[in-house]
Chains A and B, each alone.
Chain A
Amino acid sequence: GAVVSQHPSWVICKSGTSVKIECRSLDFQATTMFWYRQFPKQSLMLMATSNEGSKATYEQGVEKDKFLINHASLTLSTLTVTSAHPEDSSFYICSARDMAGKGYTFGSGTRLTVV
């Protein structure tokens, strides 16, 4: 089945620094990738939708300059949290839709802690 590899699985960074999270589709080409954030005991919140070779579409309330998304190839999308602050600490998860459009596969998630 479709596999999405997400790295790192956890990261601790200092306030004010930037963190990059990678999401790779291993055995299929992902035309569209989705980035979610999930706070403890809350549901998934879609942050943005990225399509290969074009700009990401951000959900209302998500700062595009803070959460930089790059989807330069059909197998790789990255999310960079710039100038991270403690309130950005969360569980970030990517999801890819395969080209057949039948399913949405999730990466294993990245737990970000900003200290």
Chain B
Amino acid sequence: QKEVEQNSGPLSVPEGAIASLNCTYSDRGSQSFFWYRQYSGKSPELIMFIYSNGDKEDGRFTAQLNKASQYVSLLIRDSQPSDSATYLCALNAGNNRKLIWGLGTSLAVNP
């Protein structure tokens, strides 16, 4: 089992819809969870991070963490074509604090 698993997609949603991206992980000791967005040919940019169980909202984005079930999700409300990108889930594991990455989910928002 991979440490961080994401559906590679592509996930296709119409403009204005809610996009739901999911990530599961295997290490129960994971402390911090991150969602990054990466456009083709660009470096990743942080969308948000979450440490505690529950929801965390930032604008159109909501991260949801459930440590008991070992999943973290990202909801994008009112999806826009500019949200079309690869979304990477990462978590912090180990004392040296390096990030463990999923392979990413490709999102396409159709006008």
User: Interface residues, chain A, CB within 8 Å of chain B?
Assistant: 6, 32, 34, 43-44, 46, 49, 57, 91, 93, 95, 97, 101-109, 111
Contact = CB atoms under 8 A, between A and B. Distances in A.
A109 B102 CA distance: 19
B46 A104 contact: yes
Contacts of A44: 44, 88, 101
Contact of B97 (A6, A32, A106, A111): A32
Contacts of A111: 41
Contacts of B25: none
The size class of the interface chain B forms with chain A is 10 to 19
Given A43-B104, A44-B88, A103-B49, A108 B98 contact: no
B36, B97, B104, most chain A CB atoms within 10 A: B97
B59 to A, nearest CB: 15
B96 interface: yes
Contacts of B103: 43
